[in-house]
Structures are given as C-alpha cells and as structure tokens.
Amino acid sequence: MAFKHVNAVIVGAGAGGGVAAKELAAGGLSVVLLERGKWYSAADCRKDDLRNQRTSPLGNNSGPDEARNPRVVVDLNGQERVVLPSEGGYSNNAGCVGGGTLTYGAQAWRFQEKDFRMATTYGVPEGSTLSDWPISYAELEPYYEKAEYEIGVSGDVSTDPFHGPRRKPLPMPPLPVGREHTILKPAAQRLGLHPFDIPMLRNSVPYGGRPPCMQCRWCVGFVCEVNAKCGTQNTSIPAALATGNCELRTGCMAREVLTDARGRATGVAYYDADDRLCEQTADIVIVSSAAVESARLLLNSKSQMYPAGLGNRYGWVGRNFQGHSYSGAWGLFDFETYDDIGPGASIAVCDYNHGNPGLIGGAMLANEFIRLPYQFVSVAPPGVAQWGRGHKDFMRQWYRRSIAIQGPTQEIPIADSRVEVDAKVKDFWGLPVARLSGGKHPKTMETSAAMTDKAEAWLKAAGAIRTWKKLSGKGTSGGQHQAGTCRMGDDPRVSVVDKYCRVHDHDNLYVIDGSVHVTNGGFNPALTIMAIAYYAAERIVKGRKGRGV
C-alpha cells in the first residue's frame, strides 16, 4: 500500500521522534510519525507490581509485544540466547506512543560542560573509543531550556554549583520533599556536598494544561494516572497533531529505509497494524527508534549500493553501544525511612560527576525511587539467606527502614560493545533481530566502584547502621539508557551522523534519538535526547526554508 508523499517520515514516537515531529509539523512540514506500539492511557496500563516497564516477571505494560520481538543476547562468555522483551538482558525501553517517556522516572538532567569534552578532559584510555562531541554544552543550552519549558520540568538546581551556565531557572518548583530527603540532606551537607532537588519532567504545579503530581507509590515503570508525568505522549505529540500537519500511525513496524539508485533516502517500508506491507515516501527520513532499534533498522536497510546497511560504510553503525554502569549502596536504619510518598527519588549531588582523582568521569548520585515490596526481595545483603525464615525476617524488619543511593556512572565507550543483526533469528515479520554483545571498559568499572564508596559514605553519614555496595556487572549495559550506536561526529570514518544528526553520505536521512550520543554523561539521558531533537529539527526546518546552510 502506498500513501501520499510527505515532507518527512519519522520512525518511532519516543523522546527524540516525538519532539522532532512537533518541531517539523510546527515548522510547516507535512509529517508522518510511525510507531510500532499503541497509544496507551493509564487505564490500559494498570499499576501492577509484577507487570510494568521496570519489573516485568509477568510482562511489560507498554510494549513491545512479547511474542513478536525477540532479540539475541551474547554474554561475556560468548554464550548466546534468545530473549523476550520482559526478560533480563533484552535492553527494553518501550514500544508505545511516547516511547520510554510514557513510563520513565522522569529525571530531567542536563549533561555538564565536561560531558561533551570527555577526550579533551581525560585523554583517550587504551581500548576505548572515548571522544569529544562535535557540539558543546553552550550550543545545546537554548534547546535544553526549550525542552524544560515546552515539556515541563520541576525541581531546583540553584544549590548545585556544578551545572553548566543556564539563562533561566526551571519552570516549576520542586515537589514537597519526603522523609528520605530530610534524612539525606543534612548528611550530605555535613560531608561538604551540595545536595539539591532533582529536576523532574513531572508537574509539581498545574502546567501545560495538566494537573500536578499526587506523589503516588507507582511512578517509575508506570503510566501516570493523573497525567502529571510529562512525556512526548502528552506534550509534543498532541501538539504536533494539533498543527494539522502531522499524522500519527500506530501499530506500524518499520522494516527498512528505502533508497533510490543515487543513494538518497526515499521513504520507509513498514508493516501496518494489520501486518500489511506499506510504503511511505518522503523528502526526509528520520530514524528515532532508540539506540538498539535505530541501529537495527539501518543495518536491515540493505541494498546493492549499501550491502552493509545505511550509514555503515565504515562499520560504525551499532558500535559504542552504552547505557550506564548503575552502581551505589544500600543502608539500613534503626528508624523508619519509608513514608509512602512518591515518586521517591528527590535528592541528588553532582559533586562526583567529574574531578575524581585518577578516574574518568563519575556519576550523579541520588536516592532511589520507591521500591515496591517485590523489588525489595533481591536487596538482601551478603550473609542474609535468600529464602526461608531469615529472608522473611529481613523483609519484615528492614523494608521500611532502608535507603538506596545510586548513580548512573558514565561509561567509557568501546567499539566491541555493539548492536548487530542476527544471522539466524528473525522476528514475527521475518526481519533479522538485534544481537547485543560486548562488555564494559575496565575504567568504567573502576569509576563505578568509587561511586559505590561515595554512596556508602553518604548513607553512613545519614546514620545507617549497616551498609553494603551494589556494583553493576561487567556485561554490556544498554538498557533503558541505551545510547551511542549511531555516534555523532565530524569525521565520517569514525562516526555515523554529522553534528546535525544527518547520516554521513545521505543528505536527507537523519537519526534523532539516544543513538547519536557520543558519550552518555553521568546522568539519565532523556532531556539531552529531547534537546538534541529540538536542535536538529530546527536546523531541518530552517534548511527547508532556504535560510540555513
């Protein structure tokens, strides 16, 4: 089936794709936004401890479909296995309108200035592909601000001395603080740290025509019942549709990006909700399917001219796959820390993001989101039985008397951590599935270990009577913070897209999502993905009007 030609077709209605759709549609371009998942409401995705985007023993709540979307994961010993979306190692984000932003924890971090200049700051460690970004914090700053104001961020970063220069404060005040915050804040101050209220893509006051957060127990991994969590599904995408220039097609799984004899992108072939093969032609093609699926789509777009897939002349598509090396510590207290006030995470320090002697980068450290009872089951420290009376006692005694502090340690990218397409395993539509393999650079593990010390020290200062560390594994991370697989760079021989997210070799093919991140900061990535989408889309719109270069 073929449709009316449009100016732009975008694959994936997540953080990057949602923002890009809105900017292009508002700029007067006709846009078709393809999304493999559905447009869910909170009522479709009940608050279910065992079936959500974070804890999924019984499945996930916002896709992708369990039966249709396997992947192959290769572990550090070279063992490979087929995994389903709700199983460990899959690196699932989401498959729905809004992508990860429908259910995310909504921490809204700007990367710091040094995060864009990692190679200059630290040098390039052996065995890594560490590199500077081709753009700076200063260039991205106006777009961070735009994301904060258009999508909506609450919080207060005024006592964080480490953030880059900003022209405006956050548009909304922080949420009222909970008990963990009041316990941790003075402790951080005693240690000489600089605690502050985490910026969150979450309404603390009415904003954007939506009500404030009611601070419930089920936030991260869940859809918000009152629509207080700000994602592209309740901001950019409705705004794009309201322009009249954008059509959203759900249940549409992109198969490949089509090119003509001269190598220009001509559109996208996809399977619609009834699994019919369709074609949407466009002047511009934008791939925004998140780091794993964007790489897979480019690699699966093979032709005589591009036998290794699009953008892959030098073999970089899918490499530098990264997420974060999440590490931290747990502490037990002889008083109650639990207050049932969500979302949980509320206080952070950025004292350890950079400047750790002998280390490369670091992490923002923050208290964890509310852990639901089942999530606490695997927390037990070394020495506590994994089952039986001892385990039950542990649960009963400590569930309401514990705090976790963690941070997304910045990863040192390596070429061998990668997304490929599998030679044998196919998905429901017969397309080769993503194959994930690789591990972490030893320097990443070193920094993570140091972060567990810092987290533990903070907990001790807060009065924890017992603490223990949680160090991330050595395997490749990806996960919900997946990034890096279509690196941005000036040199086409070692990157996939240019500084405007345009695929080298193609003047009308773009990747706009976490894939383009050169490095992933010591922070959750969504706000940066949104900022880059604003930045790249503005350029496309200006270019169309003949005003840009």
Contacting positions for another protein (CB under 8 A)? 48-51, 57-59, 67, 86, 175-176, 204-206, 210-217, 226, 338, 340-341, 373-374, 376-377, 386-389, 391-392, 395-396, 399-400
Which partner from the list another protein, ligand SF4, ligand FAD, none does 141 bind, CB cut-off 5 to 8 Å by kind? none
Q: Which does 219 bind (CB under 5 to 8 A by kind): ligand SF4, another protein, ligand FAD, none?
A: ligand SF4
The footprint of ligand FAD on residues 4-63 (CB under 6 A) is: 11-17, 34-37, 53-54
Min dist CB 19 to ligand FAD, Å, is 8
Question: Using CB distances below 5 to 8 A depending on partner kind, what does residue 112 bind out of another protein, ligand FAD, ligand SF4, none?
Answer: none
- CA dist., res. 216 & res. 342, Å (int): 5
Give whichever of 93 and 444 is closer to ligand FAD, judged by the CB atom. Answer: 93
Instruction: Give min distance, CB of 110 to ligand SF4, in A.
Output: 20
Whether 208 contacts 431, CB under 8 Å: no
Segment holding 526, helix H or strand E: helix 526-544
x/- mask, ligand FAD, residues 488-527, rule CB under 6 A, reads -------------------------xx---------xxxx
* Shortest Å distance, C-beta 251 to ligand FAD: 9
Contact partner at residue 288 from ligand SF4, another protein, ligand FAD, none, CB < 5 to 8 Å by partner kind: ligand FAD
Beta strand 325-332 with 31-34 is unpaired
Give the integer Cα–Cα distance in Å for 265 and 536: 18
Contacting residue, 24, 157, 254, 284, with ligand FAD by CB under 6 A: 254
State yes or no: cis peptide before 343, omega within 30 of 0: yes
Decide if residue 86 touches ligand FAD (CB under 6 A).
no
CA separation for the pair 282, 267 (Å, rounded): 5
**Binding residues for ligand SF4, per CB under 6 A?**
202, 213-216, 219, 222, 224, 226, 228-229, 342-343
- How far is 228 from 106, CA to CA, in rounded Å? 11
User: Tell me, what amino acid is at 100?
Assistant: G
Which residue number, 82 or 465, has a Cβ lying nearer to another protein?
82
Answer whether 457's CB lies under 8 Å from 191's CB: yes
Strand bridging mode 365-367 / 402-409: antiparallel
3-state secondary structure of 244: coil
Residue 172 makes contact with ligand FAD by CB under 6 A = no
* 89-118 residues near ligand FAD, rule: CB under 6 A: 93-96, 99-101, 103-107
Whole-angstrom Cα distance, residue 76 to residue 442? Answer: 14
User: How far is C-alpha 483 from the chain's CA centre?
Assistant: 7
Closest to another protein by CB, 85 vs 100, is 85
CB of 205 to another protein, least distance (A): 5
* Distance set, CA 289 to CA 198, 205, 206 (Å): 27, 31, 31
Query: CB of residue 288 vs another protein: minimum separation in angstroms?
Result: 29
- 327 beta partners: 407
Which of 304, 375, 368 minimizes the C-alpha distance to 337? 368
Instruction: Count each helix (H run) and each strand (E run) in the chain, helices first.
Output: 10, 18
3-state secondary structure of 549: coil
Nearer to another protein, 24 or 228 (CB): 228
Alpha-carbon distance 312 to 306, whole Å?
A: 8
Closest to ligand SF4 by CB, 50 or 226:
226
In the complex with ligand FAD, the residue whose CB is nearer, 107 or 417, is 107
**CB-count burial class (<10 Å; 0-12, 13-18, 19+) for 444:** buried
**Residues that contact ligand FAD, how many (by CB under 6 A):** 44
Residue 211 binding: pick among ligand SF4, ligand FAD, another protein, none (C-beta 5-8 Å cut-off by kind):
another protein
Shortest Cβ 372–ligand FAD spacing (Å): 13
CA distance linking residue 426 with residue 530, whole number of Å = 31
Q: State the DSSP string of 160-187.
A: -TTSPP-SS--SBPPPPP-HHHHHHHHH
Site residues, ligand FAD (CB under 6 A): 11-17, 34-37, 53-54, 93-96, 99-101, 103-107, 220-221, 252-254, 288-290, 293, 297, 480-481, 513-514, 524-527, 529
